[in-house]
Copies of this chain bind each other. A is one copy, B any other.
Amino acid sequence: MSGPGAGVVVGVDIGGTKVLAGAVAEDGTVVRTATRTTPGRRVVTQQVEDALVAAVLAAAEGEPLAGVGVAAAGFVDSAGERVMFAPHLPWQGQPLRDLLVARLGCPVGLDNDANCAARAEAHHGAARGAASALMITMGTGIGGAVLLDGRVVRGANGMAGEFGHMQVVPDGQACECGRRGCWEQYSSGNALVRSARGLMAEQPSVLLEMSGGRPEAVTGPMVTAAAEGGDLVARRAFTSIGDWLGVGVANLVAALDPEVVVIGGGVSAAGDRLLEPARAALRRTLVGAAHRRVPPLVAAELGPGAGMIGAARLVRDAQVLR
């Protein structure tokens, strides 16, 4: 993207409800963005591709396209050519990358959203300069990525980074995946809400009022708001998922010994309320903590645009852009 005639690099993040596209500069700066609504899962794939292309063109604003990176909320094959399966998107193995190359007339890169977000943090965010990093994305569940030598480890099936379903409690909480004791049952947005509901049965909480007396109506944002207001139940819920965050991170650090651990995703907005108990648990649970530099556990820096920024990075790294 250096030199005249280079054109613009656009990153797109396509989730279940929204397509977010942005023109992204070499240094990760987002120059301008455009959004479209995701048509859904039960439509023909072309409708989603149309929305994607529309968002890209809107973000490019007439500039020639030097490259487009796509971050998709689903399983992407290890070659980065197809979305194999996605809970909220219609693709099931169609050659999406080639199809977009044909429609957009420029190089296209494709990866899943957690990998793209990790790539963005590695180049422009909290893991900048680290030779190795672990990225944990906490939303309703847990996703993530492993970064080595600044590269994302994609795995033989493109399925590396499925941290949320590592078993941390034998015979533990039942998981939607059909197994028990998965990490994300103890540390995630859903776990935060479940923990708060359970604690409401034990001690008074403003959450009772906020939920109209119905614990089943409590939501994650309610717990976050209550914790900020000093509610003890909400704070205990954050401590619980933070502690489990640290326990799971310790297992991954024992295996991979990364330089830094970055926590992203919606739940990470809680900052130290989440991270402090996680750090304590990491120090407590990590093997050989006395004989090593325990990696810093830090919040992601790029916010909800990380997937888009990392998608742009993907296509830049994949070729010399001219």
Contact = CB atoms under 8 A, between A and B. Distances in A.
Contacts of A157: 257, 291-293
Contacts of A289: 202
A168 interface: yes
A160 B256 contact: yes
Interface stretch (A51-59, A267-275, A280-288, A309-317): A280-288
A208 to B, nearest CB: 13
Given A155-B256, A156-B257, A257-B160, A178 B166 contact: no
B255 A162 contact: yes
A194 B178 contact: no
Interface of A: 75, 84-85, 131-132, 146, 148, 153-175, 177-180, 182, 186, 194, 197-202, 247, 250-252, 254-259, 284-285, 287-293, 295
Contact of A250 (B163, B167, B251, B254): B167
Contacts of A162: 254-255, 257, 287-288
Contact of A171 (B75, B169, B288): B169
A156 B171 contact: no
19 contacts: A131-B156, A154-B257, A155-B257, A155-B258, A156-B259, A156-B295, A157-B291, A157-B292, A160-B256, A162-B257, A165-B288, A167-B251, A170-B170, A171-B186, A177-B288, A178-B198, A179-B198, A179-B287, A202-B284
Contacts of A153: 132, 148, 256-257
Contact of A85 (B155, B165, B250, B291): B291
A288 to B, nearest CB: 6
A156 B172 contact: no
B155 A178 contact: no
A254 B166 contact: yes
A162 B252 CA distance: 10
Contacts of A247: 167, 170
A132 B167 CA distance: 22
